Amino acid sequence: MLAINTAFANANLALEIADGRKFYRQLNAEAKHSENVLKTIDEMCAEAGIDILDVGTIAVVTGPGSFTGLRIGVAIAKALGCVNKSLKFISISSLQLMAYKKIKTYPKKEKFACVLNALSNLYFVAYFDKDGTILEEEKMIGQDEYLQMQCPKYALENDLPNLPCLKITEEDLLNYAKQREGLKQFVSSEELLPKYIRLSQAEDNMLKKQKKD
């Protein structure tokens, strides 16, 4: 299995091969993910002694998160699917991955929310029950609604400093992906799409222009 997370500032890459060996890489925010993710995956495969086409399942964090990062992860997975017709795909929500980490890090049984800073006083939010099951569709909210949230909130490390932090590791990514694989939660290549939730800046500008016209 190959697992890719390019949704956040730091990219997480994890590879597990048939003999159980695992290989992890992290690319920090200063690295250009568009140039380095695929190259790093090739290096991991070389270290493992396998061909990239030997990978049977690829798990990708599809968002919400960085627009560019989400496109990179999905594009790599789809490209590999074009040359490996038996490749299986798993789509991972950023916020549900965070909930998985919350349960491990803060095991208190409680309803809670995971929050991502969407900038400009906007936030991506998902609510979960005490076992980490999502309660309603992920959404984007404004500052007022964010401040009125009553349940405990958890955020990524260095994302919202006033909240308890969640540090997503490559091992977390792989273990969560394997959990999804065990439940056979696969999607087709066509269903593997970035989950933006909000419009891109270009789309927002176009919509505003159309309203003016």
What gap in Å lies between CA 198 and CA 180, rounded to an integer?
26
Tokens of 128: 């979960």
**pLDDT value for 127:** 98
Q: Given 147, 166, 185, which residue is the final one in a domain?
A: 166
CATH number of domain containing 84: 3.30.420.40
Examine the domain organization and report whether 36 and 134 are in the same domain. no
Q: How many CA atoms lie within 13 A of 72 on its CB side?
A: 23
What gap in Å lies between CA 179 and CA 182, rounded to an integer?
5
Examine the domain organization and report whether 128 and 189 are in the same domain. no
Q: What is the pLDDT of residues 3-30, one digit of tens each?
A: 999 999 889 999 999 999 999 999 986 6
Tokens of 187: 């999607």
Q: Are 126 and 114 in contact (CB under 8 A)?
A: yes
Beta bridge partners of 63: 93
Q: Given 130, 146, 166, which residue is the final one in a domain?
A: 166
CATH number of domain containing 157: 3.30.420
What gap in Å lies between CA 173 and CA 4, rounded to an integer?
8
Strands of the 153-156 sheet, one edge to the other: 139-142, 122-128, 112-119, 153-156, 165-166
Q: CB 14: neighbour CB atoms within 10 A?
A: 26
- Structural domain span for residue 175: 2-94+168-212
Q: What is the pLDDT of residues 67-78, one digit of tens each?
A: 989 999 999 999
Examine the domain organization and report whether 14 and 82 are in the same domain. yes
- Number of structural domains (the chain) is 2
Examine the domain organization and report whether 14 and 80 are in the same domain. yes
Examine the domain organization and report whether 62 and 23 are in the same domain. yes
Examine the domain organization and report whether 43 and 84 are in the same domain. yes
**Regarding predicted confidence, which is higher, 202 or 192?**
192
Examine the domain organization and report whether 151 and 126 are in the same domain. yes
Examine the domain organization and report whether 159 and 172 are in the same domain. no
Per-residue pLDDT at 207 exceeds 70: no
Coil/strand/helix, residue 185:
coil
Residues 6+ apart with CB under 8 A from 24: 12, 13, 14, 15, 169, 170, 171, 174
Per-residue pLDDT at 32 exceeds 90: no
Coil/strand/helix, residue 210:
helix
Examine the domain organization and report whether 125 and 157 are in the same domain. yes
Residue written as token pair 């919350």:
102
For residues 142-169, average pLDDT:
95
Examine the domain organization and report whether 63 and 49 are in the same domain. yes
Going by C-alpha positions, the residue among 208, 210, 192, 189 that lies closest to residue 91 is: 192
Examine the domain organization and report whether 159 and 180 are in the same domain. no
Q: What is the pLDDT of residues 71-119, one digit of tens each?
A: 999 999 999 999 999 999 999 999 999 999 999 999 999 999 999 999 9
How many angstroms separate the Cα of 174 from the Cα of each of 43, 140, 150, 205?
A: 18, 27, 32, 37
Examine the domain organization and report whether 22 and 78 are in the same domain. yes
**pLDDT value for 204:** 47
